[in-house]
Amino acid sequence: MSKYHHRFPEEIWGCRHTLALLYFFGILLSYTLRVNLSIAIVAMAGTTLDEVKNMTRLNQSGACPLPEDYLLGDKQAIPGDFDWDAGDLGLILGAFYWGYSPMNFLGGRAAEYLGGRLVFGLGIVIPALLSIATPFCAYQSKWLLIANRILAGVAQGGTLPSLAVLISTWVIPKERSKYTSYIYIGSNLGTVAAMSLGGLLSSSSFIGGWPSIFYLFGILGVIWGIPWFLLIRDSHEKHPRVSSKELEYIGQEGDTMRTKKVIAIPWKDLATSLPFWAIVFACFGNSFGFYILLNGLPQYFASILHFDIKSNGLLSAMPYLGMITLLLLWGQGTDFFVERKILPVKALRKISTAVGCYCPMLGLIGLSFVRCDALTALIILSLSISISGVAFCGYPVSNQDIAPNLSGTLVGLANTLGGFTGILAPGITGFITQGNETPDAWRLVFLITAGCYLICTTVYLIFATDKVQPWNECKSSQTKEINQTKDALEL
């Protein structure tokens, strides 16, 4: 019998599996709640017949030619409810990240103090309620819509840091890549759901068209909160339904470097830690590429490749289906290689990051020279986005490798800096393409993104490690005071 046969407890389903499943659906909903505006905004802003005719005039200055039947019927002359220009679109799309980016650090710290269960749960339910209120805010004023998106970003700031905290508590080190990849599939499936359903709903008359997108995902987010708060606990020791076999399994093979104490943040050590900054650079580069494609795809398909709004949503979602499939296979493969010691953990982290970032970089370089060849552009985009998901098995897990006691804080800090790309990406895209919706303008956007991928990924590959850092066990009077405060909060 293989020595790997009894790696798992006898129970087919344990509490950690329930955690992973609900986290998967929570991440899925969190991305539908942040992506829904990216697809709905095409219908909200609309395209008038005059603008469509203006696209024809742009053909003389380098724009892609319109299909022969583009002006037939009214499917392209979409009467939007709001008079927003490209600058307004960039501001509205980036508003979420004004709240999201700075709150990652505070959310990660809150998850270490209060537990990932509360921080993540509120990070889904509150944005869900705000999503339901989005159409009302949009009709009142552009600025109220922006405030709504900022508040949603604030609430979601702790979602990914809380994942690091719960994973480092519930999942043994050798299985973290697998569990993390499975959970992160939810982000891709959420993107698919928002873009595909969003395109269909926006072009329908159901509850007014585009408002139905916000109502649907908002209601689902509120419903999800019920089983989450009923079934999830912050640690296996506190769970009333965890079995003795699962407790023994997690306890024997769990991360001995993880303490129940909240560690004071070693700011000086972090500032001089090359492994930490390697993660920050990787997070920044991959996030910038992700948000350029996430927020830019619907606009690129509409203004450059001239797809109608229904096709726009489906085509924008298609690449993320490939990402889900590849991420499933890659996550299972990393578990296989680590378990059999074919490759060390550090090598797998770097390989995953390199494949997941360098391949999209090459795709963007190729895309910048495609111009008006819609089929080639779709193939390159699909392959690039599909492969980019592999990076989730790389640098995001490194936070738990180098400092499991501070995993929430590290993810929060990295995502705070990386999250600002959610502001930069639509801002840069809007600045470059405003009044210049041509392949040449988008080429500049794609090449800037490719350069960011190259620099940030290379820094990670040089300095990343899987070794627990000495400051993971920081001992100080400040740490004692922190835990006294935590004990008081728990009481």
Whether 156 is covered by a domain: the verdict is yes
Q: pLDDT: is 487 or 29 the higher one?
A: 29
Which residue range forms the structural domain that includes residue 323?
Answer: 15-51+76-490
Q: Token pair of 22, please?
A: 């609900």
Q: pLDDT: is 244 or 254 the higher one?
A: 244
**SS3 of residue 218 by DSSP:** helix
Domain count, the chain: 1
Whether 365 is covered by a domain: the verdict is yes
Measure CA 123 to chain center: 14
Whether 283 is covered by a domain: the verdict is yes
Check residue 78 and report its DSSP letter: B
Whether 2 is covered by a domain: the verdict is no
Mean pLDDT of 299-317: 62
Whether 5 is covered by a domain: the verdict is no
- Residue range 33-68, pLDDT digits in tens: 988 887 788 778 765 434 444 444 444 455 666 655
Report d(CA 196, CA 36) in Å as an integer.
Answer: 10
Whether 315 is covered by a domain: the verdict is yes
Whether residue 115 has pLDDT greater than 70: yes
One-letter amino acid identity for 397?
V
Query: Domain with 252 in it: what CATH number?
Result: 1.20.1250.20
Report d(CA 386, CA 359) in Å as an integer.
Answer: 10
- Residue range 256-281, pLDDT digits in tens: 444 556 677 888 888 999 999 999 99
Q: Token pair of 277, please?
A: 């900054």
Q: pLDDT: is 333 or 267 the higher one?
A: 267
Report d(CA 341, CA 354) in Å as an integer.
Answer: 20
Whether residue 6 has pLDDT greater than 60: no
Q: What pTM did the predictor assign?
A: 0.68
pLDDT at 25: 92
pLDDT at 459: 96
Mean pLDDT of 310-326: 65
Percentage of the chain modeled with pLDDT above 70: 76
- Residue range 60-85, pLDDT digits in tens: 455 666 655 554 444 444 556 777 77
The b-or-e profile of 450-485 (16+ CB within 10 A means b, else e) is bebbbebbbbbbebbbbebbebbebeeeebeebbee
| Nearest by Cα to 188 from 324, 352, 6 | 324
Whether 56 is covered by a domain: the verdict is no
Q: Are 306 and 64 within 8 A, CB to CB?
A: yes
**SS3 of residue 169 by DSSP:** helix
Out of 2-6, 221-225, 343-347, pick the least confident.
Answer: 2-6
- In this structure, the dihedral spanned by the alpha carbons of residues 381, 387, 388 and 392, taken in order and rounded to 10 degrees, is 160
Out of 118-122, 125-129, 134-138, 397-401, pick the least confident.
Answer: 397-401
Out of 24-28, 318-322, 396-400, pick the least confident.
Answer: 318-322
- Residue range 83-95, pLDDT digits in tens: 777 677 778 877 8
Q: What is the mean pLDDT of the chain?
A: 76
Measure CA 277 to chain center: 20
Whether 435 is covered by a domain: the verdict is yes
Whether residue 28 has pLDDT greater than 70: yes
Contacts of 328 (CB under 8 A, 6+ apart): 181, 182, 185
Q: Which of 242-256, 350-364, 376-390 has the highest mean pLDDT?
A: 350-364
pLDDT at 482: 47
